[in-house]
A and B are shown apart, each in its own frame.
Chain A
Amino acid sequence: NAGVTQTPKFRILKIGQSMTLQCAQDMNHNYMYWYRQDPGMGLKLIYYSVGAGITDKGEVPNGYNVSRSTTEDFPLRLELAAPSQTSVYFCASSWTGGGSYEQYFGPGTRLTVT
């Protein structure tokens, strides 16, 4: 299993540009999450999904959009990028059926907005 994969690894955006961060998991997990991590800080939840077609806001959703059309994929869309969105973005997934509640994280996407 590849686990949780994220693309791209790095990206530089100009202010006002848009982009989509890709996330995929091959573990058949029902839950998926997007976090951001600013320098020296812990992770903050942006959006999460409890299954295909169902998404909900986390702690810091402004400036982002998500969709979940399949179990495997959970892309994060940035519209009108701003310098405040410079961060490392982590995608994660988990399975609620087994009772372990372990979240598996991807390697992250480092985004710079200038």
Chain B
Amino acid sequence: DAKTTQPNSMESNEEEPVHLPCNHSTISGTDYIHWYRQLPSQGPEYVIHGLTSNVNNRMASLAIAEDRKSSTLILHRATLRDAAVYYCILRDGSNFGNEKLTFGTGTRLTIIP
């Protein structure tokens, strides 16, 4: 499985944008980029995913580099509730119905009031 590399931790001020980076230099053409986050003492929750183009939803934006070797999750205006561990995950889309996810250790995001 292609691997991802994320910083162990990041800090950001409340109400400011946050850019969470992820490197995936061995990504294949059929790998989707997924982001999940895990709030304290909870199960992970889906944030966003993409293949080649940038994606936006109500929670965040995903910016994917042109060569797809890196991506950035953007929280436009961080709140205290966004403090969590963020996981960048590659999912192999070459097999129909393959939804297995491999979680790394993620980035622990701390929001400073």
A residues within 8 Å of B by Cβ?
A: 4, 31, 35, 40-45, 48, 50, 58-59, 90, 92, 94, 96, 100-108
Contacts and interface: CB of A to CB of B under 8 A. Distances in A.
A42 B105 contact: yes
Interface in B54-106: 87, 91, 97, 99-106
Contacts of B45: 105
Interface residues of B, number: 21
A48 B100 contact: yes
A42 B104 contact: yes
13 contacts: A41-B105, A43-B44, A44-B103, A94-B99, A96-B99, A100-B49, A101-B32, A101-B49, A101-B99, A102-B46, A102-B49, A103-B36, A108-B41
Contacts of B101: 43, 45, 103
B32 A105 contact: no
A44 B87 CA distance: 13
Contact of B43 (A44, A101, A107): A107
